[in-house]
């Protein structure tokens, strides 16, 4: 998977719009602020919902596997996207801010 464009979680700009391809329960537990939620399985049908941006669009999942597949597919469709290395686990470890959280709890990576 070394041919997949990627970015370190800590290098994603704080104001970047991130596409999160995790499942709804994972998303609800915690996600990047301002992220767009499109589960991996829904991506082909919802490709027109991808946000427009002037820079590479970061794509994230829990650890980087699903988002890597999404990035591989999106690159083939002509999109300028990058995989967030290590996913939301690396995002959280890197001290990046998170939104969401279940039942009033602090956001976590599920």
- Catalytic residue of the set 9, 16, 57, 61: 61
Q: Is the Cα torsion angle 76, 78, 79, 83 positive or negative in sign?
A: positive
3-class secondary structure for 8-65? EHHHCCCCCCCEECCCHHHHHHCECCCCEECCHHHCCCCHHHCCCCCCCEEEECCCCH
Residue in 92, 86, 85, 84 with CA at minimum distance from that of residue 109: 92
Question: Is 51 a known active-site residue?
Answer: no
Which residues are annotated as catalytic? 61
């Amino acid at each position: 998977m070394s041919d997949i464009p990627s970015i370190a979680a800590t290098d994603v700009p704080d104001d970047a719009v991130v596409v999160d391809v995790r499942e709804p329960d994972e998303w609800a537990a915690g996600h990047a602020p301002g992220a767009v939620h499109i589960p991996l399985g829904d991506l082909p049908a919802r490709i027109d919902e991808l946000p427009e941006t002037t820079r590479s669009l970061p794509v994230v999942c829990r650890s980087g596997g699903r988002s890597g597949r999404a990035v591989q597919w999106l690159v083939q469709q002509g999109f300028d996207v990058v995989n967030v290395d290590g996913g939301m686990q690396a995002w959280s470890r890197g001290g990046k801010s998170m939104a969401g959280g279940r039942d009033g709890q602090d956001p976590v990576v599920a």
